Amino acid sequence: MKKKLIGFSVAGALLLGSAGVYASTNSKTLEVFYNIKNIKIDQVSKMPEEKPFTYNGTTYVPLRFISEQLGYPVEWDSPNQTINIGKTSDKSAFYPGRDFEYMNYQNSPGYKDYYSYSYNKNTISDNIGNEYNNYITISTASYGDWSLIEFPLNGQYNTFKTTLGLTEKSKNLSGEAKLEVYLDEKIIETYTFTGGDMPKNIELKLKGANKIGFKVSKKDSHGIEAEIGLFDARFYK
């Protein structure tokens, strides 16, 4: 069994492969064991160029190597000191919660706020179990009630894309929920959902609009809260 002393910064590089991440200047020497002779993925031998090692009973293998062998690309987000595995945000897109905030929220008098949006903070699921951490949700509880949230566009954006559907909490919705999309106070699209409907990908043209609004209402007073999600909601110039 081969034994070797390596610097901590070298160990950090090995953990991530060619992701370009290294430990800080505060380093120490570790005693590691190069006792891994083979790695098999789906019964096929695959060994990385950077040799795996064992330290304190734990085996360390380059993260990039394992992820990419399993079909998940790895990306190092240097400004946020974050390793992204698999799907990452569209670099040409603008996201609510990161690039701009909402400008107005209104709902039926006497009710609490029924909206949320997030960029890479909290996670939410749609009605078929897909998870998202970029989203807008709008909901309402009773027949005749409504919730409206608006975002500024200032004529800067040409396209809006999202996956539209019910959230997990509303997957057993009885009756029908309605989402109306407004551009500068004018309705441009109306979507309806009931329990069992699949999420759908939509794309809207925004050229010249100053603001966009999303209004949710419920057509009956039975059952649970109607919450519609605009999953992976993003804008393009």
The CATH number for 153's domain is 2.60.120.1060
Please check whether residues 69 and 110 belong to one and the same domain: no
Please check whether residues 51 and 135 belong to one and the same domain: no
Predicted pLDDT of residue 25: 52
Q: Classify residue 218: in a domain, yes or no.
A: yes
Q: How far is CA 180 from CA 60, 64, 226, in A?
A: 51, 43, 14
Buried b (16+ CB within 10 A) or exposed e, 211-231: bbbbbbbbeeeeeeebbbbbb
pLDDT tens for each residue of 202-216: 999 999 999 999 999
Please check whether residues 165 and 225 belong to one and the same domain: yes
Predicted pLDDT of residue 12: 47
Q: Classify residue 97: in a domain, yes or no.
A: no
* Mean pLDDT of all residues in 12-32: 54
Predicted pLDDT of residue 4: 58
Please check whether residues 25 and 109 belong to one and the same domain: no
Q: Classify residue 95: in a domain, yes or no.
A: no
**Final residue in a domain of this structure, among 50, 85, 120:** 85
Sheet holding 211-218, edge to edge: 104-107, 146-152, 211-218, 177-183, 186-193
Please check whether residues 81 and 111 belong to one and the same domain: no
Please check whether residues 208 and 125 belong to one and the same domain: yes
8 Å CB contact between 35 and 2:
yes
Split into its structural domains, the chain has a count of: 2
Please check whether residues 54 and 108 belong to one and the same domain: no
Q: How far apart are CA 211 and CA 152, in angstroms?
A: 4
Q: How far apart are CA 36 and CA 65, in angstroms?
A: 15
**Final residue in a domain of this structure, among 30, 52, 85:** 85
* Mean pLDDT of all residues in 184-193: 96
Which structure tokens are listed for 36?
Answer: 């891994």
**209 vs 82, more confident:** 209
Please check whether residues 63 and 22 belong to one and the same domain: yes
Please check whether residues 195 and 112 belong to one and the same domain: yes
Q: How far apart are CA 196 and CA 192, in angstroms?
A: 12
pLDDT band, residue 189 (cuts 50/70/90): very high
* Mean pLDDT of all residues in 157-176: 93
Predicted pLDDT of residue 50: 79
Please check whether residues 24 and 64 belong to one and the same domain: yes
Q: Classify residue 135: in a domain, yes or no.
A: yes
**Final residue in a domain of this structure, among 53, 85, 117:** 85
Q: Classify residue 91: in a domain, yes or no.
A: no
Residue ranges making up the domain that contains 44: 2-85
Please check whether residues 34 and 141 belong to one and the same domain: no
Predicted pLDDT of residue 22: 41
pLDDT mean across residues, the chain: 82
Please check whether residues 211 and 108 belong to one and the same domain: yes
* Mean pLDDT of all residues in 130-140: 93
Q: How far apart are CA 151 and CA 155, in angstroms?
A: 12
Predicted pLDDT of residue 8: 45
